[in-house]
Amino acid sequence: MKHIYRLILLLFIFIGSLFLFGQTIPEISAVTTTATSLQSSTFPILYLQVGNYTLNTLHGYSSEMDSGKVRESITPLDAKKTLIVKIKQNESKIKKLEYKLRDISNSKIIENNSLSAFDTQKKYRTASIKINQTLDTSVEYGFQITLTTSYSKKIHFYTRIKYYSSDFFLKEKLDFVNNFHKATFGEDDSFNISPYLEANTNDDSTFANVNIHSGKSLITWKKLNPKKLSETIPTIREINIETAAISFDYYVQAETDSGMESYHVKEFYRVRYSGNRIYLLAFNRKMESFFDPNLISLKRSEFKIGVSNENDLDITASDSNNKFAFVRNGSLWYYDLKTHKLTSVFSFAQNSKDYLRENYDQHDIKILKVSDNGNISFILYGYMNCGDYEGRVGILLYDYSAKDNRITERVYIPLTTTYQQLKEDLGDFSYVNDKNIFYFSLNNIVYAYNMSSKRYEILTEHASRDHFSMLEKAKCFIWSNADSSEKANEITILDLDTSKELTVKAPNGQSIVVVGTIDANLVYGFVKNKDIHESTTGEIIRPAYRLIISDCKGNILRKYKTKNYYVTGATIEENVIHLKRIQKKNGKFVNASDDTIMNQKNTKARSFDLTTRITQRMLTEKYISLPAGYIIGSKPDVLSTKCVMVTENTTLHLTNEEMSNSIKYYIYAGGGISGSTTSAQKAITMADNQMGVVMDSNSHIVWERGGKFISKQLSNINYPNDTSSSIKACTQMLLQAAQVTTTTSQLKGKSILSMLDNYLEQPVSLTGCTLDEVLYFVSGEKPVIGMLDTNHAVLITEYNSSTVAWMDPVTRRKNTVSISRAEKMFKDAGYKFVSYITN
C-alpha cells in the first residue's frame, strides 16, 4: 500500500507540474488572418459660409496636425469676423464642435472655444463662430475645427483665416468665377467669356488641359455636353485685397464614342479686382477620365485610359511580360495576359456615387515590383479615404498575392503632414528585396527597414542634390558621406537586391560629389578641396575638375575632363548631360561657356506603353498598348481583391527630429503643391512663373505673387560708424532691422549669409531672383542686401510703383532710382541678394 500511495502522490505531482509549467511556458500557435472588403467612408464633410457664400470643402483628419502646415484653403473674414460651419454628417452623428485659432509665426493658440448647440439648414447641421481675438490685417492664421461624434471620436478639419477690416471684394471675385464657370456649361447665356480669354495658337487638341489661351469652343466643351455629377463649391486657395486664386473640384459624365464615361475635373482661376473691374489673370481646367474595364478596345487590344494629362503612366510589367500592373485615378489594376483576368487590386472607390469622399484624390500608389507569378509589392501614400486608417496620412506597404487574390499589409508609417507635402517629400524610388528589407527615402533621409526584425537604420541624412541619387533600372542607391561642411571623401553604392555596398573614395585633399544619374548609370565628380569657395552671398561653389560615368558595379564607362575648366552644376535630360562650368584664369575662377555630354540611350522598346488616338468628338485620348501580337479577344473577367486583416503590429514610427533636418520650400500654385526645392531662389522663381506662393517646411509664407504692398518705406535704420566695408555695413544694418544689436567688427564669416547665420534663425540667399521678386521682403518689413558689383553692397529699404531706394554705405546717402534702372543695375551685377525669413 505504501508503494501505491507513493505512486499516486507522484502522479499528482506530475499532473500538477504539467499544469504549472503549462501556465508559464509560452504557447506556440499559428496566427490566423481573415480576408475582408475595404470599409466605406464614414467621415462628415465640412463647408464654411462667409456672408452669403458657401465655400471651402474640408475633409477630416483622424489625428491632430499643425494647422500651419495645412494649406488646403483660406477663409477670408471681414470686419464682423464671423463664419458659419456647415456640417454634412453622412454616417457620423456630431455632438460637439471645438475650434482653435493659431498664430502661425510662433505656433501659439490665441483663441479657442467649443459649441454643442447646432442649427439645421436643409441637409446640414450648422454652427456660427465669431472670432473675438484682435487679428492683423492680411496675415494668415491657422484654424482648426474639431468635431466629436456620438461615439466620442474626434475628427479634425483645417483651413487658414485671413482678416481684412476694409473691403477685399470677395463678392466681386466669387461672382465672376461662378458666372464664368456656369457660362462654360451654357448655364448663363448673359455672361460672355470671350473678353477675358487670351486665345492664341495654343494646342486645342485635348480636353485634358484647357486654359486661358485655349479657344472658346474648347473651353465651352465643344460637342461633349457633360452633365455634372457633384456640386461645384468654390475653394479659395489664396486671397489678397486685389487678387484671389479660386478653384472648383467636381465630377461630370458624358456620352462618348465608347459609351458613357465619367471624369474628374479641376478648375483654377486667378483674378484681380482693380479700378472697379475684374481681370482674369489665369484659367486652367484639367480633366481625367475614370478607368472603366468595359471600355477596353477589343479591336485594337488596348486598355482605354481616355482623356488624361498623364504622359508616363505608372505601368510595371513582370520580367516575362505576361503580367502587368498600372495605377489610374489612385487605384491599382493588374492584368494577367495568360488567364485573361483583370483585377482591381486596391481602390478606395467602393461606392460609385460617393464622389467627394471615396474619389478624393489626395493619395497615390507606387508599384515597387511585379513578379512572374503575379505577386505585386506596392506602396499607398497620402490621405486615406476610408477603411481602418480613414482620415490618416501615411505610407502603407502592401503585398498582393495573385494566387490567393489578397493584399496583405506589411508596413504602416503614420505621418503628421498633408498629401501635397508628402508627395514632394517621398523619394522617387522605393524598393523591397527578398530579404524583407524595405528601402525608402523621406525628407532627404534614406531608410532601410528590416520587416523581420522590426528595426531600421538610416543610410544617409543628406539625400539631396550633390549627395544622393537613385537608379531604378539598376536597383541601387548612391550617396556620399557629406558632413556639415558639405565635404565628402567617399560615395557608397548600395545594391538593393543583395544589400551589398561598394565604396568609391576621393584622393587625399579632394572631395567627391554626386552629379546625378543617366539611364542606368551614375555620374559623379572629383573636387580639390582648395578650390571649394563661398560666394559673397553665401553659395558654396564646388568646382569638379573631373567627371566619371560608371555603372552600379563601379565600372567606369566614360570620363570628362578639360584643362582649367571646372563643372559647378549639371542637369540631365534623357541622354544628355548639360554642364555649367567656370574657368580658372590667373588663379581666379570666372564664368565659362556651358558644355554637354552625350550618352548612348537605352533604346529598348517597352512592351506596355501609352499610345494616343484622336477622334472628332473626344479629341485626344490615351490607351495602354499591349505586347505586339497579343489579342484580347473578349472582355476580361474582372475580379476584386480582399484585404487581409493582419493581427501583428505593422506600424513603423519615425521621430520628428529625424524627419525635419533641413529647410524645404514648397511652391503652391494651381490649387496644390506644384513642386519643392531646398533653394529659396528657385522656389520664388517657380512661384512667380506659376502665379503662386512659397511656403517653407516651418510653415512660414516666404513669398507670394501679388502679395506685396504698392509701396513701402523702412525707417529707423542707421549707418554704422565703420562703413569701410559696404558688405559688413549692410549686414549690420540688416541685423538692426531684425532687432539684433552688433557692430561691424563683431561680424565673423566669409560671406553675408555666414555672418547672418550667427544671429538670425533663417537668413536666405535670394541670388538669382529679380528685383521685383525681392521687394516682397521689403514689403514684409525685411530689408534686402543687394550687390552692385563684387564688393559694393547696398541695403534696399524703400520702393513705390515707380522708384526704388537704398542705403549706400559707400556714400552714406540714400539713393533713389527708377525701377527700370535699378532692375538693370542689379541684373548686370548678377542679381545677388540676401535677406531673411525669420529672426
pLDDT (tens digit per residue) in 346-355:
999 876 678 8
Mean confidence (pLDDT) of the chain: 90
d(CA 448, CA 468): 15
Q: What is the pLDDT of residue 217?
A: 93
Least trusted range by pLDDT, from 7-16, 41-50, 615-624: 7-16
pLDDT at 29 over 50: no
Angle of helix 680-689 relative to helix 771-779, nearest 10 degrees, comes to 100
The pLDDT assigned to 455 comes to 94
pLDDT of res. 572: 81
* pLDDT at residue 2 in the model: 47
Burial of 81 (C-beta count, 10 Å sphere; 0-12/13-18/19+)? middle
End-to-end Cα distance, the chain: 95
Q: Mind listing the pLDDT tens digit for each residue in 438-488?
A: 999 998 899 999 999 999 999 988 777 668 888 888 899 999 887 656 788
pLDDT of amino acid 44: 95
Query: Cell 462618348 appears where?
Result: 256
Give pLDDT, residue 660: 55
Q: What is the pLDDT of residues 643-660, one digit of tens each?
A: 887 778 999 999 765 555
Q: DSSP E strands: which ranges in 89-206? A: 94-103, 108-115, 119-121, 124-130, 140-149, 154-163
pLDDT for res 203? 72
> Is residue 788 within 8 Å of residue 825, measured between CB atoms?
yes
Q: Is the pLDDT of residue 11 over 60?
A: no
> Hey, what amino acid is at 220?
T
Instruction: Please give the average per-residue pLDDT across 688-696, as a whole number.
Output: 94
CA dist list (Å): 462 to 459, 479, 659, 667: 9, 8, 12, 22
The confidence score (pLDDT) of residue 96 equals: 96
pLDDT of 516:
83
Answer whether 632's CB lies under 8 Å from 662's CB.
no
pLDDT mean over 181-195? 93
Averaged pLDDT, 213-229 = 94
pLDDT at 534: 83
pLDDT of amino acid 588:
84
Lowest mean per-residue pLDDT among 45-49, 568-572, 697-701: 568-572
225 burial (CB, 10 Å; 0-12 / 13-18 / 19+) is exposed
Please state the length of the chain. 839
- pLDDT surpasses 80 at 698: yes
Question: Residue 14: is its pLDDT beyond 80?
Answer: no
pLDDT at 66 over 80: yes
User: Across residues 205-217, what is the average pLDDT?
Assistant: 94
The CB-side HSE value for 707 (13 A sphere, CA atoms) comes to: 26
**In Å, how far are 93, 279, 642, 732 from 784, measured between CA atoms?**
53, 31, 59, 12
Cβ 462 vs Cβ 444: under 8 Å: yes
Tens of pLDDT, residues 567-623: 988 888 877 888 999 998 888 888 899 999 887 655 555 688 899 999 989 999 999
Average pLDDT over residues 812-819: 96
Residue of 648 and 56 predicted with greater confidence: 56
Confidence (pLDDT) at 439: 96
Backbone φ/ψ region at 169: left (φ over 0), alpha (ψ -120 to 50), beta: left
Separation of alpha carbons 732 and 489, rounded Å: 36
For residue 28, the model assigns a pLDDT of 29
CA 245 to chain centre: 19
Per-residue pLDDT band for 566 (boundaries 50, 70, 90) equals very high
Please give the share of the chain, as a percent, with pLDDT higher than 90: 73
pLDDT at 601: 59
Check: CB of residue 413 under 8 Å from CB of residue 652.
yes
768: confidence class by pLDDT, cuts 50, 70, 90: very high
Q: What share of the chain is helix, strand, coil (3-state, %, to 5)?
A: 15, 45, 40
Whether 773 contacts 685, CB under 8 Å: yes
Residue 408 reports pLDDT greater than 60: yes
Instruction: Give me the DSSP letters along 402-449.
Output: TTTTEEEEEEEEEESS-HHHHHHHB-S--EE-TTSEEEEEETTEEEEE
With cell 465608347, the residue in question is 258
Mean of pLDDT values over 379-392: 95
Q: Please report the pLDDT score of residue 32 as a whole number.
A: 41
Do the beta carbons of residue 156 and residue 69 sit within 8 Å? no
| CA-to-CA separations, 45 to 59, 85, 99, 355, in angstroms, rounded | 6, 10, 16, 12
pLDDT digits (tens, 9 = 90+) for 306-349: 999 998 888 999 999 999 999 999 999 999 999 999 999 999 98
Give the separation between CA 24 and CA 35, rounded to whole angstroms. Answer: 33
Judged against a pLDDT cut of 50, whether residue 27 lies above it is answered with no
Q: Quick one: cell of 551?
A: 555603372
Name, in order, each residue with C-beta under 8 angstroms of 9's C-beta and a sequence gap of 6 or more.
Answer: none
Question: Which pLDDT does position 26 carry in this prediction?
Answer: 32
Residue 604 is predicted with a pLDDT of 59
Facing residues of 576 across strands?
Answer: 573, 598
- 74-77/82-88 β-pairing: unpaired
**What type of residue is 525?**
G
Is 17 exposed, middle or buried (CB count within 10 Å of its CB: 0-12, 13-18, 19+)?
A: exposed
Q: Give the pLDDT score at 757.
A: 93
| Pick from 494, 466, 489: nearest CA to 478 | 494
Q: How far apart are CA 474 and CA 497, in angstroms?
A: 10
